[in-house]
Structure 1
Amino acid sequence: MKIGVVGVKGGWSSELLAETVEKRTGYGLLVEMDKVRLDLDAETAYLNGLDLRELDALIIKKIGARYSPDLMDRLETLRFLNRQGLPMFSAPENIMRVLDRLSCTVGLRLAGIPMPPTTITESVDQALTAVEKYEEAVFKPLYTSKARGMTVISAGEGAREKIAEYRSNHKTMYIQKTIDLGPQDLGLVFLGGEYLTTYARRKQIGEWNTTTASGGKYGAFTPSDGVIALAKKAQEPFGLDFTCVDVALTPDGPMVFEVSAFGGFRGIQEACGMDAASLYVDFVLKRL
């Protein structure tokens, strides 16, 4: 079979997945979306002269090195190919629903998933009202990962000025109440909608978030059946083939932060000793 991997050249997980596909099938292709040409008249897309519809499938690992609205345009190219009959894992339309933080949050809340108190507004005045209500809040860009671009703002002197400064770069403000994470949060991994494993992200002393970009470390963790059931319910509406659900164990019970558009491999490997790339390729081959 000829299976391509949509990813980023030099990206650890992209390269690992492409190498794993090549070992299993004898064919390897890393598809960088900035090098793809969509030809709507020919109803296909090309990569260096290769008609991508000649492939048996695409596995979408990464659309770009950083999250941004531009990635939605790249997903539209893949959506067109998918509609023309090229199997994809996960389906581009499903990825679109979680790539945008607001879209993901709306989907989770409509499904009745518990999340930290959240406010969405374009108004500095309304944002200030939310911060005063929450006492402390995290302002999160709609397209981001590993807490990049996030800002913590507390109620009190200078809050309005900090909000206005943030608003100058982010028209739509996504504001979430700061909650007590404790020392860690969790990543619950699902493959084909079925629970696979869990890893913890343990934050560095003095940091407000647990991401590895802020010094967080991966560790093993065994969640309760209730937490697994909550995470399973959270990812179900999105229909992703491989994903990770971010869950915090708070004094008010477990809460979901987000459902990942692509899911990570490193936490699974370092904390759980599992080869996520091999498991994912096995899943794709069985589906095909």
Structure 2
Amino acid sequence: MPEIGVVGTLGGWSSEKLADTLKEKTGYRLLIDPGKVRLDLATGSAWYEDTDLSKLDALMIKKVGTRYSAWLLDRLEMLRFLNERGVKMYSPPLSIMRVLDRLSCTVTLRNGGIPMPETTITEDTDEALRAVGIYGEAVFKPLYSTKARGMIVICSGPDARRQIEAFRQENTFMYIQKKLDLGGQDLGVAFMGGKYLTTYARCGDGSSWNTTTRSGGKYKPYAPSQETIDLAQKAQALFGLDFTCVDVAETREGPVVFEVSAFGGFRGIQTASGLDAAELYVDYVLEKV
């Protein structure tokens, strides 16, 4: 049987489940903390404890860090070195890099003709203030974040400049989106190998402007329109990910995409749809390997 490692979070629900599923199906279990990998460029080896990752049959990348930031790109570069020297990876590090950075993901989506909320990118406070004035109410998002961490809503008014300046102290590039009325929910549309898998809804509890589970949101089953599925499929196809969830909102003007994710979805899929995403993903990878 092949020896397949999981790059993920030690103790993390999805990472541990993926590693456990691989043990059940192959007899081999290795959950890798990417922060403790030693890459030797001269020999082409990459050591995690006493295992040379370059000798494995494949790696499944579930997480590369618990907090999103630009330095996660460096961890992915280490994995890309191995990938391009022949170690099979699911999803490929270069594909993950293109969605990890919110701006990179957005540029690819918009150039691909994917409808998104109105968005402004700027480093300038005056221009950010101008965008808020146009939108009336805007969501300011860090370029690297998950579950709405670091995001704030700023409304047009006398306090807007102060709020923008405070946000800019931590975020040189300001990613600003017009706040939409989501009706209390948004969707995670899941794909494996480019094929539609299922959809779950994240439903807010009314205590926050966002629907993330971190802010009290709950996963629920949802049957999206074919238009929504088709749009999400088109969006994920731009990145070449083996497993992904596309964050979509169904608005009065039609569905719009917020982002494409390389890491989320396992718990939402299982809670809302009853599908074991880890088992499905392992079976998919075993067929490839």
Same fold (TM over 0.5): yes
CA distance in 1, matches of 2:104, 2:266: 24
**1:261 deviation in Å?**
2.0
Task: Give matches, 1:1-288, under 5 Å.
Answer: 1-288=2-289
TM-score by length of 1: 0.99
CA distance in 2, matches of 1:55, 1:86: 7
Moved over 4 A (4+): none
**Conserved? CA contact 1:185–1:247, under 8 Å:** yes
**Conserved? CA contact 2:249–2:258, under 8 Å:** yes
CA distance in 2, matches of 1:75, 1:205: 37
CA distance in 2, matches of 1:147, 1:183: 15
Query: Alpha-carbon deviations, 1:73-117, whole Å to 9, x = none?
Result: 000000000011000000000000000000000000000000000
CA distance in 1, matches of 2:210, 2:163: 20
**1:264 deviation in Å?**
1.9
CA distance in 2, matches of 1:275, 1:107: 30
- Runs of at least 5 residues in structure 2 that lack an aligned partner in the other structure: none
SS in 2 for 1:120: strand
Q: Superposition RMSD on alpha carbons, in Å?
A: 0.6
**Conserved? CA contact 1:242–1:263, under 8 Å:** no
SS in 2 for 1:237: coil
Query: Alpha-carbon deviations, 1:135-176, whole Å to 9, x = none?
Result: 000000000000000010000111001101110110000000
CA distance in 1, matches of 2:65, 2:275: 25
SS in 1 for 2:237: helix
Amino acid at match of 2:115: P
Query: Alpha-carbon deviations, 1:184-232, whole Å to 9, x = none?
Result: 1110000000000000000111321110000000000001111100000
Amino acid at match of 1:9: L
Q: Structure 1 vs Structure 2: percent identity of aligned residues?
A: 63
